[in-house]
Amino acid sequence: MKKRTRVLSLLTAALMTCSLAACSGGSSSSEAASSQPASEAASQGGSEASSGEAKSVDFPTKPIQIICPVAPGGDTDRNTRVIAQIMSKYLGVNVVVTNVDGGATVMGMQQVLDSDPDGYTMIINGCDMFVPYMMGTTDINIDSFKTVGVPIIDNTTVLAVHKNSGFTDLKDLVEKTKANPNTIEYGGKIGATNQICGVAMNKEWDAAFKFMDVGNNAAKMTALLGEQTDSINISYSLAKDYFTTGEFQALCLLGEGKNELLPDVPVPEDYGLKNVDFSKFFWLGVHPDTPDEIVDILADALQKTTEDPEFIANMEENYLTTVCYLKDDAKALCNDYYTRTMEPYKEEFLAQQ
Amino acid sequence: MDLMNGFLDIFQPSILWLLLAGTAVGILFGAIPGLSAFTCMAIMLPLTFSMEPLQGICFLLAIYVGGCSGGLISAILLGIPGTPSSIATCFDGYPMAQKGQARRALGTGVVFSFVGGTISAIVLVFLAPIIAQFALKFSPYEYFTVILFALTTVASLSEGSIVKGLLSCLLGISFAFVGIDKLSAYTRYTMGVHDLANGFNLVPLLIGVFAVSQILENAASRKYAKASEKSGPSQKDLMKTEKVKGFGLSWKEFFYQMRNAIPCGAIGLVIGILPGIGGNVSNLMAYAYCKNRSKTPEKFGTGFIDGIVASETANNATVGGALIVLLTLGIPGDNATAMMLAGFQLHGIAPGPLLFRTNAEMIYAIFAAFLFANLAMLIIEFFGLPVFIKMLSVPGSYLLPAVIAFCFVGSFCANNRVFDIFVMILFGLIGFIMKRFGFPLAPLVVGFILAPMLEENLRRSLMRTEGSLIPILQSPIAVVFLLLTLVTVILTIRKELKNYRQSKAQAAAA
Amino acid sequence: MSNGRKNLYSGIFFILFSAFLFIESFNIKMSTADALGPQFFPRLVAFLMLVLALILIFLSVKNWNQAKAEEAAMPAEKRKITFNFPLVASIVLLLAYFLVLQHLGFMISTAVYLFCQMFLLLPQGSFKKPRYLVIVTLVSVGLSVFIYYLFLLAFSIFLPAGILG
């Protein structure tokens, strides 16, 4: 074993060296490789850190974790990593993403509630946090935490169909579902927000989609590409290629209003249908007993993150909207989402389970 | 020609270094039980932030290749699969190491990892877009039948008694019920324990069943061991008996084994292409395939080189299969490719059909990097062989607890939860008791991995057909796999009856 | 124990287990999304398990005489279950490890675990030999500290820090 560990440490060292070499040959100005207490990050964020100290609490002095309650690889994970990277610049310490998957995000939320209320463990979540609460499988919801803020809104969810499906526009699709109720599929993941979206579409547009469990985003794309299902909802950026080639058609944006970054995608209102809002917010919270001073420091860093040009550019690349709602404003925003876009469909959603 | 340009793109010191370092780190993570290519990629992903896109992607790719192969080291030397993709490598690799043929076993594993990787790389380069279209033909109906077919491997994995093998498999299936039901989002069999809401994680289960049970076994056997320095045959002595050089494999054997390697590579590739199944399954299927068609199936499980060839060729071929789907369709087939996708996205690149048109240079550089990473794996592991084998000279009394310490970390890292360490211990106990009662452990793992997919896809199919099974029978692919399943079951029953009659005749004669 | 006896006992266990699966399946929340529902598979498995367990018991009873003979041929110490200290201690040690991990942290718990486990595997009486004491102490402390810092510093993985955190 000793031999092996020695090799391990050697290799780690080698790896570090060459990754650093790659950094120096690299492109961007951001060097906050969050796998090591980046000295450069500390110096960049030095002034901010000292302004934090001025608020009489010495925070942060060690790395901060953001618990991401889903497995690595999805959009939540991606956004969390970008937030962590930029935030570490302004907090002067390493911000690390820790994935705790499971229980429809409940596992990760529980882990934050079980941690010390010292601000070193944050949680990120989106609309999905309300689903298990709505189903009655947990008591945890946004009120179980202190809210730090909402830095991103993802208004890129579109209703997509395959080009061979013959649906010309949203109106056409909705009419066809009315003509043949429960034959035209809307594929999604059971027990997730996209199922609620299906309920909402049927209710608001008097449509009759047949909800079909297809799986996660990757599976939804596969199903639509293979023309196994008729329509799906998906983040525009995930299927960007297919919209560009025309293989997929984005019939409408499922958001509150038009997304300026996606000028070509119509909204239901353009067809005289009510807008169905399934845009997503990304929310950061901490343990409810965290001292207010610490929440202030975190919220401050989050605000600077949302003003960071690199951050904004990265989000725009994926058509995401950078916003800055902090603490109670953010909480009100999230609760508004819940009462507006989820609660009205609760009964039908539960009946489908 | 494009491929040549790809090679030119990656032939710059920084990328070659990253490929080598990535492969080496991947191998290490793969070799440590509980840590896999996926864990390693998740850990290393932040490092790629600051790299050039091609550098970052090559680095992740190298980790993926190394991680998939590294599992064979602990599988062979310790009998503990380093990653779920090397479960079947244990069956013959560990007995070989016990017989003093560690180097030969490792060498074979390494060479055929390379063969598997290369087969899939060649297919990737030349046929990727065509093959990707094939993957799209698979709807829940076809998935259901493929997984049903994969479940028949249980028969080949239940050495001794098929009844016990099936019971072990059913037990594994039962454990998989715990947690959220995929088609209703409500929990099952959690008995009100919140920590169980996500079910049992595969990683701690696997380490428990294979690693913890083994340390318990060793502890239990101390009682019967003489008060000598080491219990059991001294492995130092065993090593001396092995006088082989290089990979411990002659050219003749190499070519002979290609009969196994090529079909196993194909199995690995097909499984890799189907999103959601992955290397966990392909190594077991390939093993079962080789055992079934072998003229000497009884030799499997006793330290037979064909078993290692089957498992290692298949799991590395799966990597190429998964890459095909990722690169051509932009769909991640397993969690490791999901990390690759994240790596692409961090650099603002979306893999998919457009990438071939808009950035073909990048695609061919990735192909070249994949081929090179396979070569790097071969070279690193070749020079590592003597070092790996030295591990055996560490007395088990020190080595096993140290491995368990890494297992604790591995279980924890799988989902960053302390509870998973309990799961690992629990399954260590279960595995230990099952071994004592003569139940094979592999079927338990197979049942645990496959049953949820089987259930999910069958119920999805029925959701679409509103309860009718007829549409499933109208799919040609599904029918083929159903027939294959049927044939395998009939052959197994026939073989069992024959064995039963034979043993009866023997008993009568005695 | 002979194989026959082992099979008999495991058969009985599996019958009980299948009963548990079946009874517990009534606590599953009904769903209407698909035709089979979440109870179908557990019940199917319970049924198959019952059938196979009965076969196992049937076979072991049928070959009971053979098992008896086998048992008689065994050495006395293997015939019945005796208290095996290293085994029981290892199990207790593992469970204790899990229980204290969050309170004491990874480094301390792992060092203590490794120390005890190594002596449980080393031949009896090694504990009294200073040479072993030195090696085991060094390895167990060194390895746990090394792993902890390796994962924290190189990979940013926060193993439980416990009282040292």
Of B24, B38, B417, the CB nearest to A100: B417
Contact C35 B409 (CB under 8 A): no
| Partners of A124 in the β-ladder | A284
Q: Establish whether the linkage from the previous residue to B46 is cis, with ω within 30° of 0.
A: no
Residue A47: predicted pLDDT: 41
Q: Does C132 touch chain B (CB under 8 A)?
A: no
Residue A288: predicted pLDDT: 94
Q: What percent of chain A has pLDDT over 70?
A: 84
- Reply yes or no on whether the pLDDT at C122 is more than 80: yes
> Least CA distance to B454: which residue of chain C?
C41
Cβ neighbours for C83, distance < 8 A, ≥ 6 positions apart: none
Contacts of B184 in chain C (CB under 8 A): 29, 31, 33, 37-38
- Count up the domains in chain B and report the number: 1
d(CA A329, CA A332): 5
The reply to whether domains A36-154+280-343 and A157-278 share a CATH topology is: yes
Mutation target to probe the B interface, by most B beta carbons within 10 A, among C34, C39, C52, C153 is C34
Residue A51: predicted pLDDT: 43
Contacts of C155 in chain A (CB under 8 A): 35
Contact C32 A98 (CB under 8 A): no
d(CA B27, CA B380): 9
- H/E stretch holding A177 reads helix A170-179
Residue A37: predicted pLDDT: 41
| Partners of A122 in the β-ladder | A66, A286
Q: Which value, to the nearest 10 degrees, does the dihedral of the CA atoms of residues B235, B241, B246, B251 take?
A: -120
In tens, the pLDDT along B182-207 reads: 787 788 898 888 888 888 988 899 88
Q: Which chains touch B (3 or more CB pairs under 8 A)?
A: A, C
Residue B236: predicted pLDDT: 52
What residue type is assigned to position B345 of the chain? Answer: Q
In tens, the pLDDT along A24-61 reads: 333 333 333 343 343 444 444 444 444 444 446 788 88
What residue type is assigned to position B498 of the chain? Answer: K
Q: Does C154 touch chain A (CB under 8 A)?
A: yes
Q: What is the CATH number of domain A157-278?
A: 3.40.190.10
Edge-first strand order for the sheet with A185-188 is A210-213, A185-188, A231-235, A157-162, A248-253
Q: How far is A162 from chain C (nearest CA, A)?
A: 25
Which of the pair, A99 or A149, is modelled with greater confidence? A149
User: What b/e string do you get for B117-134 counting C-beta neighbours within 10 Å, with b at 16 or more?
Assistant: bbbbbebbbeebeebbee
Give, in order, the Cα–Cα distances in Å from B135 to each of A184, A226, B286, B454.
23, 8, 19, 18
- Reply yes or no on whether the pLDDT at A113 is more than 80: yes
Residue C111: predicted pLDDT: 95
Which of the pair, B53 or A17, is modelled with greater confidence? B53
Give the residue numbers spanning the domain of B14.
Answer: 2-509
Q: What percent of chain B has pLDDT over 90?
A: 31
Mutation target to probe the A interface, by most A beta carbons within 10 A, among B10, B49, B464 is B49
Fold of domain A36-154+280-343: D-Maltodextrin-Binding Protein; domain 2 (3.40.190)
Residues with pLDDT less than 50, chain B: 226-234
Contact B227 C124 (CB under 8 A): yes
A241's tokens: 């290629």
C36's tokens: 């089979």
Q: Which of 425-454 (B) contact C at CB < 8 A?
A: 425, 428-429, 436-439, 451
Residue A59: predicted pLDDT: 85
Of B170, B219, B229, the CB nearest to C90: B219
Residue A10: predicted pLDDT: 44
Q: How far is B506 from chain C (nearest CA, A)?
A: 14
Average pLDDT, chain C: 87
Q: Does C156 touch chain A (CB under 8 A)?
A: yes
Q: Which of 96-125 (C) contact B at CB < 8 A?
A: 97-98, 101-102, 106, 110, 113-114, 117-118, 120-125
Residue B488: predicted pLDDT: 87
Q: Locate the domains of chain A by residue range.
A: 36-154+280-343, 157-278
Neighbour-count burial of B433, counting CB atoms closer than 10 A to its CB (0-12 exposed, 13-18 middle, 19+ buried): middle
Q: How far is A54 from chain C (nearest CA, A)?
A: 25
Contacts of C85 in chain B (CB under 8 A): 223
Q: Does C161 touch chain B (CB under 8 A)?
A: no
In tens, the pLDDT along A130-159 reads: 988 888 888 898 999 999 999 999 999 999
Contact B167 C10 (CB under 8 A): yes
Which of the pair, C30 or B27, is modelled with greater confidence? B27
Of A11, A106, A242, the CB nearest to B197: A106
User: What is the C-alpha R_g of chain B?
Assistant: 22
- Reply yes or no on whether the pLDDT at A14 is more than 50: no
